[in-house]
Amino acid sequence: MHYAIVDIETTGGYASGSGITEIAILIHDGTSVIDRYETLINPGRPIPWSIQALTGIDDEMVADSPAFEEVADKIYQMLSDRIFIAHNVNFDYSFVKYHLQAAGYELNAPKLCTVRLSRKIKPGLASYSLGKLCDALGILIENRHRAGGDADATAILFSKLLAWDTSGHIASMLKKTSKEQQLPPNLPKEDFTNLPSCPGVYYFQDMAGKEIYVGKALNIKKRVASHFSGHNPNPQRQHFLRSIYAIRYENCGTELMALLLEAAEIKRLWPLYNRAMKSPEPKFALYSYEDFHGYRRLAIGKHGKYHDCIHVFNRESDGIRMLRKLVIDFGLSAERCSYGRYPLFSSESEDIQKLSTKIQLLNPEDYNALVENALTKFTENLPSFIIVDTGRNADENSCIWVEKGQLSRIGYVSNHADLTRLTDIKEVLQPCVSNHYMNQLIFSYAEKYPLKVKRLMQEMTTFQEIP
């Protein structure tokens, strides 16, 4: 069995937007290095000053060097039918695979990461970066931050690890059924293998234990594994994987409970790599304002984060429908209600015209009282219900408590608890600050699974099934 120990220098941190400036490949037969290939490469783009300072490789040094395509065949031949080894192997592999693919070669080599291997064979060291690891193990690195020097040090490290591996870690990591090489270099395998296959929320943590990503899953283990599969060369994924040092999780019983916890946790923790759900704002809202004559007007408009509103909607049509219902049910003036720049009724019926004419005669004080009554009744008539569903185990149920259209409490109720009144159940659940996104999730779920919904009745002392 032969190994190809690889080190590269690059113009940046991700393959699709960066070039390779130097590569070194050492062929190791399991005892010693038997062949090597090393060359500077012209990346076809300027080398950033920060990288020039780190590696010592500048634009002038690579000006007359071959482009990657010119040496791609040699690199491919060196790597073919060999185990690809590097310190933080997924980084080097993603670059080499990406640029080989661009040159017309498809690399699919088994991988071995000396970071992960060192953590297994020599656990408990302060750091597993190449420099500090070599210092701790007495390995001299000459020509640091150059491909040849770092590859030489990695080869010495690998030889030592081969000799120290009395437990068969290398053979285990190279098994085709092993997912070890797909895991981030700093993540203990146990953190992944201990994940359950149930609905819940998972947390990726950095070296300091800070949550950098929160996600939900119907199957936690399967979803987490999907983050680590493939060789996506984009920058976010490359930096993301290198930052993961630990995983923790929360079993949630159902996907809905996981969705709600995910939304709440992203809002609470504000993780670095969560972007899509940090500001799940509604698009439209019902506003109230007073015109020059002192009359209170109602209008549907775009939702503004810093503007007070009465109610929010994902779709403008939902807001228009609700406002038209207020006008009809409570006798409001259609002319004093609108959406955007448009009147609420494009062609008013005769009844609406008669009603509007009558309402126009009211003074501001009487009309505004009419509007206030309509809004009060609207709020009071917002639905109150609970969703009872599967718990985290057979001895409990999950419970979501919605009061006047807003999620207010959430949690799990034991099947063995002596809870005879709804108020008893409410006290067991944890208070929850919701947002529009969370409420939309609940209402969509309630519409999809009506048999799991129980409507609160008679001031929350009893409930009834929704027909």
Q: Report the C-alpha gap between 222 and 218 in whole angstroms.
A: 9
293 is catalytic: no
Q: Report the C-alpha gap between 25 and 4 in whole angstroms.
A: 6
211-217 and 246-251 as β-strands: parallel, antiparallel, unpaired?
unpaired
Q: Containing H/E element for 219?
A: none
Q: By three-state DSSP, how is residue 213 classified? A: strand
> Which candidate in 87, 99, 145, 311 is catalytic?
145
311-313 and 284-290 as β-strands: parallel, antiparallel, unpaired?
antiparallel
Q: Containing H/E element for 447?
A: helix 436-448
Q: From start to end of 190-235, where are the E strands?
A: 200-205, 211-217
Name 390's bridge partners. Answer: 397
Q: Report the C-alpha gap between 166 and 321 in whole angstroms.
A: 72
- 393 is written with which tokens? 């185990």
Residue labelled with tokens 């008679």: 458
Residue labelled with tokens 């790599």: 273
Question: Other C-beta atoms within 10 Å of 337: how many?
Answer: 22
Catalytic residue numbers read 145
